[in-house]
């Protein structure tokens, strides 16, 4: 990795997106063209809310790489930010379809695909609900719920694969101990994986919108049981539960769409 690219990532980490963009153009002027550089330009432009430029560079990256689901996910997010939910949903749907067709013998790449697929379903769920509110179409809200369920299901599948791989090599001859250790590893993964909390908050919110109050409370309470007050999103999860309980007890409050966290 060149020094300039290291500086790009350093600037992105420090949210200095304008300097990151300048460095990326400097690299391009040196004749170094790579799809990831266009992807990073698209990302940086989206962070400074220049979505026209962001989508332009995402489109360039899309035409240059085989990792199209990653780019389509980013494009979907950009379209979502400008309230073009139809294009956003199309991007997510296309990315999901491409991932469903991909097969790999590599465990590492398989886990990467599952992580991305989980994120795509979460983002799709948020876009579908936003589109439902805009078009006043209830069936889209139910499709959103299905997408959010899928995002959590895929995350849990990923946790099980990692736990099996991590534990069985050590405790393959001790079945009961293996089971207990596997559960401990999964609980640890739920805590460490930030998307686990965020996606559960979104699932609970969508359940609530559709009148599934008890399922909504159960979902967020179960999520809270897997984290603690040292967790980055502890306050988010707790406040989401309190919002759900408050709105459920004050039925005059309408349309709790602000519960979504993407």
Domain boundaries, the chain: 114-259
Of all residues in the chain, the percent with pLDDT exceeding 70 is 90
pTM, whole model, 2 decimals?
A: 0.88
Do the beta carbons of residue 30 and residue 57 sit within 8 Å?
A: no
Average pLDDT over residues 172-183: 67
pLDDT in tens, 71-123: 999 999 999 999 999 999 999 999 999 998 877 778 888 999 999 999 999 99
Given a cut of 50, whether residue 200 has pLDDT beyond it is yes
175: which residues sit within 8 A by CB, 6+ positions away? none
pLDDT in tens, 78-88: 999 999 999 99
Given a cut of 80, whether residue 212 has pLDDT beyond it is yes
Confidence band of 252 (pLDDT split at 50, 70, 90): very low
Count of CB atoms within 10 A of residue 168's CB? 13
Average pLDDT over residues 147-167: 92
The pLDDT score that the predictor gives to residue 138 is 87
Report the C-alpha gap between 189 and 162 in whole angstroms: 9
Average pLDDT over residues 205-232: 94
Given a cut of 90, whether residue 177 has pLDDT beyond it is no
Confidence band of 193 (pLDDT split at 50, 70, 90): very high
Q: Which two tokens stand for residue 134?
A: 């805009």
Report the C-alpha gap between 21 and 71 in whole angstroms: 18
């Amino acid at each position: 990795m060149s020094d300039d690219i290291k500086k790009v990532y350093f600037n992105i980490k420090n949210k200095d997106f304008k300097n990151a963009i300048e460095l990326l153009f400097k690299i391009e002027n040196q004749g170094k063209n790579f799809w990831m550089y266009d992807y990073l330009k698209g990302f940086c432009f989206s962070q400074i809310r220049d979505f026209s430029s962001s989508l332009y560079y995402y489109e360039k990256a899309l035409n240059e790489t085989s990792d199209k689901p990653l780019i389509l996910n980013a494009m979907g997010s950009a379209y979502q930010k400008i309230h073009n939910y139809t294009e956003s949903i199309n991007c997510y749907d296309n990315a999901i379809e491409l991932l469903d067709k991909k097969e790999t013998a590599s465990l590492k790449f398989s886990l990467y695909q599952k992580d991305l697929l989980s994120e795509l379903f979460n983002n799709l769920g948020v876009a579908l609900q936003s589109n439902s509110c805009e078009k006043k179409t209830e069936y889209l809200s139910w499709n959103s719920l299905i997408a959010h369920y899928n995002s959590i299901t895929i995350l849990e599948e990923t946790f099980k694969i990692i736990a099996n791989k991590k534990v069985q090599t050590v405790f393959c001859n001790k079945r009961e101990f293996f089971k207990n250790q596997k559960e401990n590893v999964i609980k640890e993964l739920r805590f460490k994986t930030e998307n686990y909390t965020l996606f559960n908050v979104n699932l609970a919110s969508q359940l609530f919108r559709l009148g599934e109050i008890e399922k909504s409370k159960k979902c967020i309470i179960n999520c809270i049981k897997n984290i603690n007050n040292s967790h980055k999103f502890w306050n988010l999860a707790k406040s989401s539960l309190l919002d759900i309980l408050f709105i459920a007890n004050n039925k005059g409050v309408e349309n709790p769409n602000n519960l979504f966290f993407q």
